[in-house]
Amino acid sequence: MKRRDFLRVTGTGAAAAAAGGLAPLLEACAGKPKPVGRKVIVLAIDGMDPHLVRRFVAHGGMPTFEKFIAKNTFMTLGTSLPPQSPVAWSDFITGAGPGVHGIFDFIHRDPHTLEPYLSISRSFPPSKTIKLGRLIIPLSGGKVENLRRGPCFWEILSRHDVPAIVFKCPANFPPVETDARTVSGLGTPDLRGTYGTFSYYTDDPPADADEFTGGECYPVRLWDNTFAADLVGPPNTFRAGAPPAKVRLTVHRDPTRDLAKISWDGGEVVLKRGDWSEWNRVRFRLAGPLADVAGMVRFYLKEVRPQFRLYVSPVNIDPLEPALPISTPRDYAGQLARRAGRYYTKGFPEDTKALSHNVFGEEEYLAQAEIVLAERMRCLEETLADFDDGLYYFYFSSIDQNTHMMWRTMDPQHPLYQPDAPPQVKGAVEHFYRAMDPALKRVLAEVDDKTTFFVISDHGFAPFYREFNLNTWLLNNGYLSLLDPTRRDETEFLENIDWARTVAYGFGLNALYVNLRGREPHGIVEPGEADGLAGELAARLEAYRDEETGDRVLVKVYKSRESYRGPAAAAAPELILGFVPGYRLADESALAEFPRRVCKVRQDKWAADHCIDPGHVPGVLFCNKPVAARAPALRDLAPTILKEFGVPAAPEMTGRPILG
Amino acid sequence: MAKIKIDGELWERVKKAAEAAGYASPEEFVTHVLEKEMAALEGGAADEEEIKKRLQGLGYIS
């Protein structure tokens, strides 16, 4: 058995537990589909906002969009409830709502155990192991499961022999097994199994280093201009207790020049101050020569002296040697990397956390965002080279992530607005809108009279000025009780809740759950009383006003019983909060913590958002054909695209074709 | 596939809980619960700090 085959059988730590499966067999059996004589192209630009499009087109920097709008359809596209990317793109993929696909929020809780998990995918460790000394050898592979339910429209196209290329569609990890050529998008973790954890090595750690989220700070001490430190990788399930696998980095600072050499087993790189490296492979050894797992990192040498500061990107899955299934066929991610160069494989590649924690300054963050965009443009070129016929879908994250982080720099009303910021910082959001113009121009070159062409986004944007703490509000209003009120600042994840005296709780970014008997482990609300309680909560929340500003916080609180239909609806939260633009749920409340104040000013640089009322953050719809529907929505796209190929919609699809 | 005996009253509760939680069947629910318990016993389950780190990698939560 080859080493690679062995890893597929055994799994290589939690991050690699899903390796293997039926993909190689399917690849071997898949023939090249016959041409169908039609093309549908979807350019997906996450977070593109219709108001900002109009504003920036009027500024004159988006000539291709301006010409397209003059001759074609441009309108708003209804988003999902709630307007969160995993929910919205699941609406798109399935042609249906959360009642069918079962994705209600970024974060779900297991109703039986109340354990939190990311809603898009879940990993399960190997179920059978044997112990050999300190090693625990997995005998059966673990798995990563895509938790989205319901149909997937390109899978249906594949069954009808319509070829498809789908690059980085969110909520498609692990990618649906089809004959289509796909690369997974949002939901794809880094090699540690997180949504992104950078490493920061410095002899001048910031005071809040212990509070970093989405990254780790490693204090170092240079002796004779040298230090050694670990780069942390995936949990090593070959070892008792699954400690993280590590790669030892040795860093030499040049004694006189602003240079440093970083070396590790299998590689080295020399950087000048301010340099970004290319992608470098790092190999984590799990069980001596038996098993290892490959990842890749980029280094950024922020400062050499007087202080030393080295940033290392999250350890991305290497598309040339993927430890997890990130594409179909399994080698398609690698085929692209060989032609376009390696590229970020984790879901959202822009390192927003490094900016939030001031590891990156504004310009450094924007430089990293430019690297992401340049990689994406190369992938656009190479995937278009593969496209002759059928469906082509290509996804950009740049506008979404950079609007989250940089809106505050263009909005004088924002509490974090800096009037003296450099022009490139103040103009960052507009810059990334303009950057989509060459992408549109390139894709339009592929559009002919047999092509139906869409540009879509999953939602728009709004500023994020003030935070609302739902769980604090529930506590203050007697709907929720704590076991130990003196520990309210120390606990999280629902652990301090007195379930015998709690009727409702918040978890996730828009969700409110009733503590339902028969569903929650200590539920006290009888199923027959849940509707009445949900109605009371909705009315009181809609009437609530920010005590400091007097402003209303919620436009509407939606009842899932009235909003969702389908087999997954029973698992939905009872209420979905639709915030007024300017407000969003506080981060602490999303993880069921209990800050003292119900509302407060947003202080994080992640200072614009879309997890609000869906009516206020529609996406965009551009199309080269007339759209007959008066209020098209994301879930209408799947049946529309299927119809363009003469393929019937799946019975679960609630969306309707929108073209005339 | 192995079969196990389960108390009738408990089975009724399992069926209700599985339906309320949106599982496709009581068998799927029972399998899921047992998988998780076994993972915890075998030391493979992520602890809360690990779960929190995963969630906080999302820009949406600090």
- Predicted local confidence at residue B44, as pLDDT: 43
- Predicted local confidence at residue A138, as pLDDT: 64
Question: A214–B48: do the CB atoms touch at under 8 Å?
Answer: no
- Predicted local confidence at residue A143, as pLDDT: 73
What dihedral angle (degrees, nearest 10) is formed by the CA atoms of A539, A541, A542, A546? 150
Q: What is the mean pLDDT of residues A268-288?
A: 94
Based on its alpha-carbon atoms, the radius of gyration of chain A, rounded to whole angstroms, reads: 25
Q: What is the mean pLDDT of residues A290-300?
A: 92
Question: A14–B46: do the CB atoms touch at under 8 Å?
Answer: yes
pLDDT band at B48 (very low <50, low <70, confident <90, very high): low
Nearest CA in chain B to A136: B42
Q: What is the ipTM of this complex?
A: 0.73
d(CA A96, CA A132): 49
Residue of A145, A188, A407, A587 for testing the chain B interface, max B β-carbons within 10 Å? A587
Choose the closest CB to A591 out of B39, B55, B59: B55
Choose the closest CB to A518 out of B20, B35, B58: B20
Closest approach of B22 to chain A, Cα-based (Å):
5
Question: B42–A125: do the CB atoms touch at under 8 Å?
Answer: yes
pLDDT band at A134 (very low <50, low <70, confident <90, very high): low
Is residue A490, in this structure, part of any structural domain at all?
A: yes
- Predicted local confidence at residue A27, as pLDDT: 40
Choose the closest CB to B57 out of A102, A197, A509: A197
Choose the closest CB to B20 out of A190, A401, A519: A519
Angle (CA) A185 A190 A194, round 5° = 100
pLDDT band at B46 (very low <50, low <70, confident <90, very high): low
Task: For chains A and B, count residue pairs whose Cβ atoms are closer than 8 Å.
Answer: 116
Q: At A91, which helix (H) or strand (E)? A: helix A85-94
Closest approach of A40 to chain B, Cα-based (Å):
32
d(CA A577, CA A470): 10
DSSP A300-319: EEEE-SSS-EEEE---EEPT
Nearest to A322 by CA among A188, A137, A168: A188
d(CA A534, CA A536): 5
Closest approach of A299 to chain B, Cα-based (Å):
19
pLDDT (tens digit, 9 = 90+) per residue, A385-418? Answer: 999 999 999 999 999 999 999 999 999 999 999 9
Q: What is the mean pLDDT of residues A72-84?
A: 98
Cβ contact A136:A130 at 8 Å: yes
d(CA A649, CA A95): 9
Residue A66: CB atoms within 10 A of its CB come to: 14
Question: B61–A404: do the CB atoms touch at under 8 Å?
Answer: no
d(CA A406, CA A362): 9
Nearest CA in chain B to A198: B57
Question: B52–A493: do the CB atoms touch at under 8 Å?
Answer: yes
pLDDT at A492 > cutoff 90: no
SS3 A340: helix
Question: A111–B22: do the CB atoms touch at under 8 Å?
Answer: yes
Domain encompassing residue A599: 464-615
Check residue A30 and report its DSSP letter.
P
User: Tokens 């082509």 correspond to what residue?
Assistant: A392
Within 8 A by CB and 6+ apart from A233, the residues are: A13, A15, A191, A192, A244, A245, A246, A247, A282, A284, A293, A295, A315
pLDDT (tens digit, 9 = 90+) per residue, A61-77? Answer: 999 999 999 999 999 99
Within 8 A by CB and 6+ apart from A610, the residues are: A47, A79, A83, A84, A459, A460, A461, A462, A617
Cβ contact B35:A127 at 8 Å: yes
Closest approach of A168 to chain B, Cα-based (Å):
17
User: Which chain A residues are closer than 8 Å to B62 by Cβ?
Assistant: 213, 356, 587, 604, 606
User: Which chain A residues are closer than 8 Å to B51 by Cβ?
Assistant: 115-117, 493
Is residue A520, in this structure, part of any structural domain at all?
A: yes
pLDDT (tens digit, 9 = 90+) per residue, A143-176? Answer: 788 999 999 999 999 999 999 999 999 999 999 9
Of A138-142, A454-458, A470-474, the range with the lowest mean pLDDT is: A138-142
pLDDT at A135 > cutoff 60: yes
Kindly report the pTM of this predicted structure: 0.89
SS3 A316: strand
Is residue A516, in this structure, part of any structural domain at all?
A: yes
- Beta-ladder partners of A228: A250
- Predicted local confidence at residue A568, as pLDDT: 95
Residue of A194, A212, A313, A585 for testing the chain B interface, max B β-carbons within 10 Å? A194
pLDDT (tens digit, 9 = 90+) per residue, A578-614? Answer: 999 999 999 989 888 888 999 999 999 999 999 999 9
pLDDT at A12 > cutoff 50: no
Nearest CA in chain B to A400: B59
Q: What is the mean pLDDT of residues A640-656?
A: 98
- Predicted local confidence at residue A122, as pLDDT: 78
Is residue A332, in this structure, part of any structural domain at all?
A: no
Nearest to A504 by CA among A438, A575, A605: A575
Of A468-482, A504-518, B17-31, the range with the lowest mean pLDDT is: B17-31
The structural domains of chain B, with segments of one domain joined by +, span 8-56
d(CA A474, CA A126): 40
pLDDT band at A241 (very low <50, low <70, confident <90, very high): confident
User: Which chain A residues are closer than 8 Å to B53 by Cβ?
Assistant: 194, 197, 213
Length reported for chain B? 62
Nearest CA in chain B to A516: B20
d(CA A242, CA A447): 51
User: Which chain A residues are closer than 8 Å to B44 by Cβ?
Assistant: 14, 125-126, 237, 242
A95 token code pair: 């042609």
Of A529-533, A618-622, A635-639, B43-47, the range with the lowest mean pLDDT is: B43-47
**Average pLDDT score over chain A:** 91
SS3 A14: helix
pLDDT at A658 > cutoff 80: yes
Question: B48–A193: do the CB atoms touch at under 8 Å?
Answer: no
Taking any CB pair shorter than 8 Å as contact, residues of chain B touching chain A are: 13, 16-17, 19-22, 29, 33, 35-36, 38-39, 42-46, 48, 51-62
d(CA A351, CA A371): 11
Question: A567–B56: do the CB atoms touch at under 8 Å?
Answer: no
Number of domains in chain A: 1
Cβ contact A276:A300 at 8 Å: yes
